[in-house]
Amino acid sequence: MSERLDALHHWLQYEITLDTPTDTPTLTLASSDASFRRYFRWHTAQGSYIVMDAPPPQEDCRPFVAVAQQLLAAGVRVPTIFACDVTRGFLLLTDFGDTVYLDVLNSERVDVLYEAALNMLLHIQHADPHQLPLYDATLLQREMALFVDWLLLQHLRLILSDADRAMLAQQFALLTESALCQPQVFVHRDYHSRNLMFSPEHPTTPGVLDFQDAVRGAITYDLVSLLRDCYIAWPEDRVIAWVRNYQEKLQQAGLMAEVDHATFLRWFDWMGVQRHLKASGIFARLYHRDGKIGYLADIPRTLDYIVTVCANYPELQPLGHFVTRRVLPVLQGEFTCMP
């Protein structure tokens, strides 16, 4: 890592064209995320920048650059790319500050903040998705397999019978079919409170980050990422009101043909189950593969979403019962034993 930092300093000081001081750049760690990427803040006479360090071969900067251009063209507030070296994984970006949505969300401010986020989501869903990878059945199934492979087998050490596996396969097939029958649009794929930046100077236009994994997929995916966030939960009546409001926005914008609210809510709910299965598996993988323990605390909230939604749909009750009876008791015992 010291060699990468040396190369990063050299790139900033000698290899990019900016009217900046010529002394050795001083970088402070701004953040790291759930991948191998790191972000540094670089203060210059002109202001501060964010420097992305995305080490190859673990990370590829090209999707970030391509998607940023698409979103910018659609009116989305994404970081400007001032300089990039995709071969080495170095990018120089706009600094949106330190305040993520999660830091400022509370019951008094959430309606205003989510209205801004939902309006920005409309811009995202207006972007042309045709050059993006498809969020197809293979990808949807591969994501849900993370729940089995990393949470159930690796983390909780559950023994799955043939009947268990058959039930899970049948439930995953239902969720996949629901996602594929929806209108297919530009999907950010991680549109939640830790990837939206708030600043007093731009209160109605959140900065949007972490969009490099964008795909062409279900119209409710980003909506459920925001409203049933793995990092913060809201009363169900408020969530349903936001969903209904956004459905109206979509139809008024011509992004979706008119459907009844029960159908749209079902799309939303089932898409959330798919996403939360994936997310719970990713949180377990981050711990076991990458040594990041902090995400384990988000697993119970993520699974609670699954249980709550499955209880409302007879078709999904086998999955809800499985999580309630087989997964949560083991998980709760694990948290009881943690120091």
Give the ranges where 186-316 is alpha helix by DSSP (H). Answer: 221-227, 236-252, 261-288, 299-310
Same domain, 106 and 217: yes
Same domain, 57 and 110: no
Q: Which domain holds residue 74?
A: 2-94
What pLDDT, in 10s, does the model give residues 108-157?
A: 999 999 999 999 999 999 999 999 999 999 999 999 999 999 999 999 99
| Look-up of token digits 């930046």 | 197
Q: What is the CATH number of the domain that holds 110?
A: 3.90.1200.10
Same domain, 177 and 322: yes
Q: What is the CATH number of the domain that holds 63?
A: 3.30.200.20
Residue type, 159: I
Same domain, 111 and 35: no
Same domain, 87 and 108: no
Gyration radius from the chain CA atoms: 21
Same domain, 117 and 146: yes
What pLDDT, in 10s, does the model give residues 58-108?
A: 889 999 999 999 999 999 999 999 999 999 999 999 999 999 999 999 999
Same domain, 80 and 155: no
Domain boundary (66, 94, 122) is at 94
- pLDDT given at position 136: 98
Domain boundary (65, 94, 123) is at 94
Same domain, 208 and 316: yes
> In terms of C-beta density within 10 A (0-12 exposed, 13-18 middle, 19 or more buried), how is residue 94 classed?
middle
Number of separate domains in the chain? 2
Domain boundary (69, 94, 119) is at 94
Two tokens, residue 299:
């697993």
The residues that bridge with 39 in the sheet, in sequence order, are 31, 52
Same domain, 89 and 107: no
Provide the CB-side half-sphere exposure for 235 (13 A, CA).
7
> In terms of C-beta density within 10 A (0-12 exposed, 13-18 middle, 19 or more buried), how is residue 216 classed?
middle
Alpha-carbon dihedral 332, 333, 337, 339, rounded to 10 degrees: 0
Same domain, 50 and 124: no
Q: Are 8 and 51 in contact (CB under 8 A)?
A: yes
136 Cβ contact list (under 8 Å, min separation 6): 180
Same domain, 145 and 223: yes
Q: Is the peptide bond before 57 cis (omega within 30 degrees of 0)?
A: yes
Positions in the chain short of pLDDT 50: 22, 339
Quote the Cα angle for 50-56-61, to 5°: 50
Same domain, 81 and 118: no
Two tokens, residue 249:
């926005």
